[in-house]
Amino acid sequence: MPAETTPASDPALDRPMAGVRVVDLSQGISGPYATKWLAALGADVVKVEPPIGDLSRAAGPWPGDVPDPETSGLYLYLNTGKRGLTCNLDTSDGRAIAAALCARADIVVESFPGGYLDERGLGYDRLREDNPAVVMVSVTPFGQSGPYADLPASEITLFALSGQMGVTGDPNRPPLKTGGSQPSYQAGLHAFTATQTAYLGALRQGRGTHLDISAQETFASMLEYYASYSSQGGEEYRGRLGNMISAIWGIYPCIDGYAGMCVLPRNYDRMAAATGIPELSEPPFNDADRRRELDDTLQAILYGWFAGKTRKEVHAVAMEFGFPAGYVATVPDLVESEQLAHRGFLQHDDHPLAGPLDFPAHLWVAPEHGWERGRAPTLGQHNREILVDELGYDLDDLARLRELDAI
Amino acid sequence: MSTAAPKPLAGIRVADLTMMWAGPYAAKLMADYGADVIKIEGPRAWDNIRTLFPPDELTDQWFNSGAYFHEYSRNKRGLSLDLSQPRGRELFGRLVAKCDVLIQNYRADVMDKLGLTESWLRELRPDLVIVGMAGFGKTGPEAASLGYGPIIEQMSGLVSLSGYGDGIPFKTGISYGDPIAGIAAAGAAVTGLIRRERTGRGVTVDLGQREVATTLMGEAFALWSMNQRLQDHVGNRHEWMAPHNAYPCLGEDHWVAIAVGSDAQWRGLVEAMGRPGWALDEAYADQASRWEHRDTLDERVSAWTSGRSKQEVFAACRAAGVPCGPVWKLTELVADEHLNARGFYEPISDPDHASWMVHGWVWRWTDSGPCILAPAPNFGQHTREILTGLLDVDPAELPALAEAEIIAGAPIDPPAVSVV
């Protein structure tokens, strides 16, 4: 079929998701992160928020540290390019609005506890009666079923229960949660790819599906082979190794911060040459087996080498000699990065309420389709456009719905 | 409906030139969801992951037996083909013409050096979805940087966010950049296929692994944009929740994570702890006050947890509605009650190799049925079936191809086994 299809002449259709209708009922990070990219790929994403707003509006950061639901940095990042609708699913009018939106949707994303939407007549079984091709994506901490399904969760408890926390941090200190909100973002990235995979399946097979994504499972699938290895002998394979897997696979202090190398045996000779330390190119260090026995000695030598370099000098010499090394980049490093600027990676927005913002704006570069760079909606910004222009409510209805706390 | 739904990528064929971690992870996801993924390796240019973590007991077939290799290449078919020889490249071209997706994670310049240029590939298959995933992308002043997952994680900014609070940044315990890039690359391939379904046209994706990782820290960009500040390292603490930490339990290196985000959860924790008198102190009466007194609170919660097993603490918190999770060690993770009840782990086995458990579906869907897993292919295992079945090569030609080392049943002159 693809080869015979007439290429479209409308450049807007070049966006892979142009015209695809997405209803995003999710809150927080995971679901909104996934739908952020659907919007940037051209989909019409309607973000449905309760009248008090998405949780991420209360998360910050804010300009000058002054809390304001319209200037929360987390919200502004995760909801670029979407249209905003307020809708209270605990009112019958709100449920009717959501049902009307879902009836015309290609994709519905949600993050409620299992059963919540079913109780409100918005569950997958109900939606597919009218809309058999709809793809519904549920992303929750533990999935729709099983003994933990109703367990309250937090990022740190999920990180612990997925195995990732147990291998992260210094071996002589407590296990460490990573900074930022990595657990939620990981689930969000999975949700994005899962949504696209299911939507492609629906396009090709003519039937939709309901995806059940458990954050615990998405994290537990990213342990390389360590978990499955542990299942073979019942013996713990790997604890926490901190920043130093071995001397040539670690992070070291340098003049202006931290830098690291991740040298595999085939990269060793080039690394040794790059340091300009002759003994690293000679026995015993140029022999992989003997090197391992002398790891502490090698670490001491490399501590000295890193200590005399700036972060960017380490990366420059690694590029020149062709071995894997880099540095612990900070946000200003990234904002100022020539490489990222060359790639058009950051989106600059002089936001009317939040001031200037620089945000990551693509997952990859594809000249054929590009990425849209919209702004996140204010609370209920598109209520009138969606309810009146598209769903057939009149202006009196809007006032009534507002009074009933339905929108 | 009793029949399992077809897998979403059924009917999609992928030419997989990826090696090591990030690329094979992407191709693994596509294979799990129904794509026919053909893993292509040269007799002298093969996937180093086969030897990076070889099995404990070396066998003659060590290059086929590594658990790591199996984790990343299950459900794929294996084709050996030397792309540096003209006949190998010609056969590869015929394969590309029958594929929907080509994915590779070479350094930025390698495809062009092999003569596998985008324009050549497009001639062979005009609507091909081409996914390249060099560490830093194919263009720009740093395009030549070598980036394995740990380097990607550092260069992305993520490592700068983590630490105990003494200024030292910490990486995760895995090669974090790799699976992250792999998930996004699978998303890129599928997005390209969606576009092809809708427009008839192919797409060329240039994915920089570092950029994907950097998208996972939007709020840190906001903080810098708005207030020119970096995020503090808060260890296992939280900006406003308390108690919120990893607490020691009975036994060596056993910990439990507890996060209290509301007054109701605090009341639950007080119940779980057996209503100790100290917990009724005014200092812990509300969220703001608990956060202010987080140091003493952590000491007292630790005193409670340290006399108990993490399972015991988990059970008490679970009963009281408090967010809690034992910090599972990996042997404990594969025994997790919930993961097992959901059938997350599935057995995988091969007559030639051991039998063990691996994760099955990462995403389940309606009627998905059990996750049927095939072990990773032996080196070049499906070479004959693909060449003669899919590409109409005369079986009589195979010995000559093997003689010329264009195809092979085992890696030629592999280096000594190396363990990191």
Per-residue confidence at B352, pLDDT binned at 50, 70, 90? Answer: low
Helix (H, G, I), strand (E, B) or coil at A53: coil
- Half-sphere exposure of A301 toward its Cβ, with a 13 Å CA cutoff? 19
- Residues from chain B that touch A151, judged by Cβ atoms under 8 A, are 318, 323
Quick one: tokens of B58? 């070396």
Give the A window 269-288 contacts with B, CB below 8 Å. 288
DSSP character at residue B189: H
Question: Which chain A residue lies closest to B359 (C-alpha atoms)?
Answer: A221
- Residue B3 is predicted with a pLDDT of 57
Question: Which chain A residue lies closest to B150 (C-alpha atoms)?
Answer: A262
Per-residue confidence at A65, pLDDT binned at 50, 70, 90? Answer: very high
- Is residue A2 predicted with pLDDT exceeding 70? no
- Residues from chain B that touch A2, judged by Cβ atoms under 8 A, are 127, 196-197, 200
Comparing CB atoms, the residue among A170, A189, A288 nearest residue B180 is: A189
- A303 interfaces chain B, CB cutoff of 8 Å: no
Helix (H, G, I), strand (E, B) or coil at A33: helix
- Residue A174 is predicted with a pLDDT of 97
Question: Which chain B residue lies closest to A231 (C-alpha atoms)?
Answer: B357
Instruction: Check residues A1 and B126 and name the one with the higher pLDDT.
Output: B126
Mean pLDDT in residue range B279-297:
95
Mean pLDDT in residue range A342-353:
97
- Residue B369 is predicted with a pLDDT of 77
- Is residue B53 predicted with pLDDT exceeding 90? no
Comparing CB atoms, the residue among B127, B150, B253 nearest residue A2 is: B127
Mean pLDDT in residue range B273-280:
95
Mean pLDDT in residue range B25-50:
94
Plot region of B387 (φ>0 → left; ψ -120 to 50 → alpha; else → beta): alpha
- Residue B65 is predicted with a pLDDT of 78
Helix (H) or strand (E) holding A185: helix A182-205
One-letter amino acid at A148 equals Y
pLDDT in tens, B145-155: 988 999 999 99
> How far, in Å, CA of A61 to CA of B207, rounded?
29
Mean pLDDT in residue range B325-345:
93
Distance of CA B39 to the CA centre of its chain: 17
Nearest residue to A331 via CA among A358, A353, A354 = A358
Q: By the 8 A CB rule, do A30 and A191 touch?
A: yes
Whether residues B163 and A179 touch (CB distance < 8 A) is answered with yes
Tell how strand A135-140 and strand A83-86 pair up. unpaired
Question: Chain A to chain B, count of Cβ pairs less than 8 Å apart?
Answer: 536
Nearest residue to A179 via CA among B40, B206, B162 = B162
Whether residues B192 and A5 touch (CB distance < 8 A) is answered with no
Mean pLDDT in residue range A17-36:
97
Reported ipTM: 0.96
- Residues from chain B that touch A251, judged by Cβ atoms under 8 A, are 154, 159, 169, 171
Whether residues B211 and A343 touch (CB distance < 8 A) is answered with yes
Give the closest-approach CA distance of B198 to chain A in angstroms.
Answer: 8
Q: Where are the alpha helices (DSSP H) in A283-394?
A: 288-293, 295-307, 311-321, 331-335, 338-342, 383-384
pLDDT in tens, A200-250: 999 999 989 999 999 999 999 999 877 776 666 555 566 788 999 999 999
pLDDT in tens, B206-243: 999 999 999 999 999 999 999 999 999 999 999 999 99
- Residues from chain A that touch B318, judged by Cβ atoms under 8 A, are 151
Helix (H, G, I), strand (E, B) or coil at B297: helix
Whether residues A167 and B174 touch (CB distance < 8 A) is answered with yes
Q: Which of A137, A138, A200 to mutate to test the interface with B (most CBs of B within 10 A)?
A: A200
Helix (H, G, I), strand (E, B) or coil at B12: coil
Helix (H, G, I), strand (E, B) or coil at B245: strand
Average pLDDT, chain B: 92
- A99 interfaces chain B, CB cutoff of 8 Å: no
> How far, in Å, CA of A167 to CA of A144, rounded?
27
**DSSP bridge partners of A199:** none
Q: Which of B190, B209, B256 to mutate to test the interface with A (most CBs of A within 10 A)?
A: B190
- Residue A4 is predicted with a pLDDT of 37
- Is residue A7 predicted with pLDDT exceeding 50? no
Q: Which of B193, B331, B344, B419 to mutate to test the interface with A (most CBs of A within 10 A)?
A: B331
Per-residue confidence at B405, pLDDT binned at 50, 70, 90? Answer: very high
- Residue B356 is predicted with a pLDDT of 78
pTM: 0.96
Comparing CB atoms, the residue among B10, B148, B327 nearest residue A262 is: B148
- Residue B57 is predicted with a pLDDT of 62
- Is residue A12 predicted with pLDDT exceeding 60? no
Which residues contact residue B27 at a Cβ distance below 8 angstroms, ignoring those fewer than 6 apart?
A: B14, B16, B18, B37, B39, B73, B76, B103, B186
Comparing CB atoms, the residue among B10, B154, B176 nearest residue A328 is: B154
Give the A window 323-382 contacts with B, CB below 8 Å. 323-335, 338-340, 342-343, 345, 354-360, 362-369
Give the A window 239-268 contacts with B, CB below 8 Å. 239-243, 245-246, 249, 251, 258-262, 264-267
- B345 interfaces chain A, CB cutoff of 8 Å: yes
- Residue B2 is predicted with a pLDDT of 40
Average pLDDT, chain A: 93
- Residue B55 is predicted with a pLDDT of 64
- Residues from chain A that touch B181, judged by Cβ atoms under 8 A, are none
- Residues from chain B that touch A13, judged by Cβ atoms under 8 A, are 198-199
Whether residues A190 and B362 touch (CB distance < 8 A) is answered with yes
Nearest residue to B13 via CA among B118, B120, B131, B102 = B102
How many residues are given for chain B? 420
Whether residues B207 and A354 touch (CB distance < 8 A) is answered with no
- Is residue B109 predicted with pLDDT exceeding 80? yes
- Is residue B123 predicted with pLDDT exceeding 90? yes
- Is residue A8 predicted with pLDDT exceeding 50? no
Q: Where are the alpha helices (DSSP H) in B334-409?
A: 337-341, 383-384, 398-403
Domains of chain B with CATH codes? 13-207+364-403 (3.40.50.10540)
Question: Which chain B residue lies closest to A74 (C-alpha atoms)?
Answer: B219
pLDDT in tens, A354-400: 999 999 999 999 999 999 999 999 999 999 999 999 999 999 999 99
Give the B window 35-64 contacts with A, CB below 8 Å. 48, 52-53
Comparing CB atoms, the residue among A63, A170, A211 nearest residue B226 is: A63
Q: By the 8 A CB rule, do A55 and A27 touch?
A: yes
> How far, in Å, CA of A29 to CA of A26, rounded?
9
Tell how strand B36-41 and strand B129-132 pair up. unpaired
**DSSP bridge partners of A325:** A261
- Residues from chain B that touch A234, judged by Cβ atoms under 8 A, are 331
**DSSP bridge partners of A211:** A137, B365
Mean pLDDT in residue range B161-165:
97
